[in-house]
Amino acid sequence: ALMTAKEYIDSLRKLNTRVYMFGEKLDNWVDHPMIRPSINCVAMTYALAQDPQYEDLMTATSSLTGRRINRFTHLHQSADDLVKKVKMQRLLGQKTASCFQRCVGMDAFNAVYSTTYEIDEKCGTSYHENFKKFLVYVQDNDLTVDGAMTDPKGDRSKAPHEQTDPDMYVHVVERRDDGIVVCGAKCHQTGSINSHWHIFMPTIAMGEADRDYAVSFACPTDADGLYMIYGRQSCDTRKMEDGCIDVGNAKFGGQEALVVLDHVFIPNEYIFLNGEYEFAGMMVERFAGYHRQSYGGCKVGVGDVVIGAAALAAEYNGVEKASHIKDKLIEMTHLNETLYSCGIACSCEGCPTKAGNYQIDLLLANVCKQNVTRFPYEIVRLAEDIAGGLMVTMPSEKDFLSDTVVGREGETIGEICNKYFGAHEGVSTEDRQRIMRFLENMCLGAAAVGYRTESMHGAGSPQAQRVMIARQGNIQGKKKLAKNIAGIKE
Ligand code: SF4
Ligand code: FE
């Protein structure tokens, strides 16, 4: 059955997840003020699925069981499903202005489903059955799963088996009759702590010598030997302060962690790839394709909120009618909708895999993500332009509330702040504070992790897309077209 947001949060408490932060193990990480906003984001994927208004977008009929499931656990059955996925992500971006984390697992489900089918077809293995059984369990229990791909990678000029420390890539250290034992780590794992399970996948195409590194499997988040070290974000300790304005986005945020596998045992039924090295690349390519499409939804939704905040900042300053402000808001909208167009385009051009689920158009998904590595930067540049310097110079929330006398006539710090930071008639300084802090948070505070750097490097750094664009771009075919028209004989 579908979980409510509250049931999801309670379900996290029941896990024995091991989380480390600032050098210590956290006991109650679910209520930790630095972590909770990221849990609220995932909880929103459950809350919206309960809302009849969003039923068509947020839920789907399982292709495996025919039951009603959260779309985040769905295998896309058509181009229409791919489009709905993007729309769902835009909606979540609009509601949270953050990374809501649950897409990574969804993208892993779809990549592993189609890849395991093709491995079994060629190698006579039974990974696809393993995976289907696992996914039915995930769908029926409405679980959040982290798709874990990025290894530490050590010396980038060396293949996995050439590394001095073999743990630079996740690998099998022991093969037993009933399963395997794995070691290694995955870096900057979005939402890993907030997930019930993890699906581990290789991070690059591999050769025969990397056989032990060509491994994919599912594993509970609180498995023996698995632990997480929480990643820092700029301004993160503002979340530890009292008050709710300076933090910019008091309710929602993203989360990244280092996930360590220290001799974790994986039973056979949860293994989806084990030594068939020639399929590592296929799994990576498909997962990356889906996740590059995803950014054409989530970052667009976040962009919607940034554009809205910039427009409010202009209004509060009384400059919303200036033609250059209007023009900047048009440019921001143009850039944001261009990203959305790419997300929709690669979805509409989707086609069925051998296993039957739908794959996005790989070239267009990579073009989508390549644009995502650029446009949010221009959007925040324009937002900062419109907002003005106050965004980064405004005194704290505590100052605005302070009773401490500073003026000759007994004025308090709070009164002085409210006096000098007032602007357009009828707009409270508190509303102005809120919008400035929100923009600071998005442009260069904690949320810039999600909107800027994650746009740059999440789902693969720009160069990874250029490699795929080169591979999918069909320059030979284009040369032929030109030869034909220009009358050049073969
Ligand atoms: Fe989802 Fe976007 Fe976060 Fe990736 S970056 S998990 S697509 S919200
Ligand atoms: Fe991401």
- Could you give all domains of the chain from N- to C-terminal order, each with its CATH number? 5-281 (2.40.110.10), 285-480 (1.20.140.10)
In the predicted structure, residue 170 carries a pLDDT above the cut 90: yes
Q: Could you tell me the pTM of the whole model?
A: 0.97
User: Which residues does the annotation mark as catalytic?
Assistant: 99, 103, 190, 256, 291, 295, 298, 454
Give the separation between CA 259 and CA 406, rounded to whole angstroms: 50
Residue 183 clears pLDDT 90, i.e. is over it? yes
pLDDT at 482 over 90: yes
Query: What spacing in Å lies between the alpha carbon of 161 and ligand 2's midpoint?
Result: 27
Our answer on whether the CB atom of 182 is closer than 6 Å to any ligand 1 atom is no
Residue 350 pLDDT > 90: yes
Instruction: Tell me what the mean pLDDT of segment 298-308 comes to.
Output: 98
For the cut 90, the answer to whether the pLDDT of residue 453 exceeds it is: yes
Contact 47, 308 (CB under 8 A): no
Q: Facing residues of 274 across strands?
A: 215
Among the listed residues 354, 361, 349, 364, the one whose alpha carbon sits nearest the alpha carbon of residue 79: 349
H or E segment to which residue 308 belongs: helix 280-317
pLDDT number for residue 62? 98
120-155 pLDDT tens trace: 999 999 999 999 999 999 999 999 999 999 999 999
Look over the chain and give the mean of its residue pLDDT values, rounded to a whole number.
97
Going 124 to 66 to 217 to 102, the CA torsion angle's sign is positive
Q: Which residue's alpha carbon is nearest to atom 8 within ligand 1?
A: 99
Q: Does position 490 have pLDDT exceeding 90, yes or no?
A: no
What proportion of the chain, given as a percentage, has pLDDT over 90?
A: 99
Residue range 5-47, pLDDT digits in tens: 999 999 999 999 999 999 999 999 999 999 999 999 999 999 9
Q: How confident is the model at residue 299 (pLDDT cuts 50, 70, 90)?
A: very high
Q: How confident is the model at residue 447 (pLDDT cuts 50, 70, 90)?
A: very high
Complex ipTM:
0.98
Is the CB–ligand 1 distance for residue 104 below 6 Å? Answer: yes
Q: Which of 374, 182, 394 minimizes the C-alpha distance to 295?
A: 374
The reply, when asked if residue 190 is annotated as ligand binding, is: yes
In 3D space, the residue among 455, 431, 446 whose CA is nearest the CA of residue 41 turns out to be: 446
Which ligand is nearest the CA of 254, by number? 1
State whether the beta carbon of 277 lies less than 6 angstroms from ligand 1. no
Q: Tell how far the Cα of 295 is from the centroid of ligand 2, in angstroms.
A: 8
Q: Is 3 helix (H, G, I), strand (E, B) or coil?
A: coil
Cβ–ligand 1 contact at 454 (below 6 Å): yes
Ligand 2 mean position to 481 CA, how many Å? Answer: 38
CA of 426 to the centre of ligand 1 (A): 38
CA angle centred on 211, ends 207 and 215, rounded to 5°? 110
Residues 102 and 73 sit within 8 Å (Cβ to Cβ) = no
Question: Atom 6 in ligand 1: which residue has the minimum CA distance?
Answer: 101
